[in-house]
Amino acid sequence: MTLAGKTILMSGGSRGIGLAIALRAAADGANVAMLAKTDTPHPKLAGTIHTAADEIRAAGGNALAIVGDVRSDEDIASAVEQARAEFGGIDIVVNNASVIDLSGTLDLGPKKYDLMQDVNVRGTFMLSRAALPLLQQAENPHILSLSPPLNLDPKWLGAHTGYTLAKYGMTMATLGMAAEFAKAGVAANTLWPATTVATAAVQNLLGGDKVMAASRTAAVYADAAYAVLTKPAAEYTGQSLIAEDVLRGEGVTDFSGYAAVPGTPDSELRPDIFLD
């Protein structure tokens, strides 16, 4: 199974992991509709929804750049309708948009807390919800959320409680839909990397150049997402997956090619948060 002719509706995706997943799908000739706010260049972050769409087309796919906010019900409804009108339906939803703030409880402002809840949890729920009528008509429908397994170790519950709530909320929404729509044949899974991934968020929020050098590239996430999205939906659902484990299941034994700094041994890579 490939993603040729499949239509993906993705939140975010102007850069980083979301764009890597989109480009991997585009190599098969997939259609990618992206709902994102990055209409104009950011002073510190490369890429807009329009440059991402150009890259998707160059990689062999079709792209639909939808400028909007996953916090807006109207924008979500419009994105679903635009994807249907342009490509005839929706086969896959990728909940990629996410806000990160690792502040402790007393340092996390109410507005940032609300933003993480609105984008991470509500956005995941509402985008998936809006697409479900079309997903149920698709041949092999998948929902994939980029969120971690539910690790209730106090180490992670207490590390950054506001962010933990938001990311675990994404996972709970996804696993809930997996159970609710299993009989309808809609798969819903989460995916998280074993190590940090070299993205702007890691550069700016998790430790700068030192952590970037101890990370893997976004390709590890993209290749794992591809493997998940090409599985039979009726059989592969309700799981909190780790990218490297997915790839091992596909026969990958050498991960050296994913190192952000070539030659970095696996033993020197930094485990991602939420993983023991």
Q: Could you give the residue numbers annotated as active site?
A: 163
Inter-CA distances, 80 with 131, 133, 165, Å? 6, 10, 27
Token pair belonging to 177: 């839909």
**What is the signed CA dihedral for 95, 107, 102, 112, rounded to 10 degrees?**
20
DSSP, residue by residue, 153-194: -HHHHTTSHHHHHHHHHHHHHHHHHHHHTTTTT-EEEEEE-S
Strands in 37-184 per DSSP E: 62-67, 92-95, 142-145
What does the alpha-carbon distance between residue 53 and residue 213 come to, in Å, rounded to a whole number?
28
Beta bridge partners of residue 240, listed in sequence order: 190
Inter-CA distances, 178 with 46, 87, 128, 132, Å? 34, 25, 11, 12
What does the alpha-carbon distance between residue 187 and residue 55 come to, in Å, rounded to a whole number?
28
Say if CB 173 and CB 123 are below 8 A apart: no
How many residues comprise the chain? Answer: 276
Of 132, 108, 93, give the one whose Cα is nearest residue 6: 93
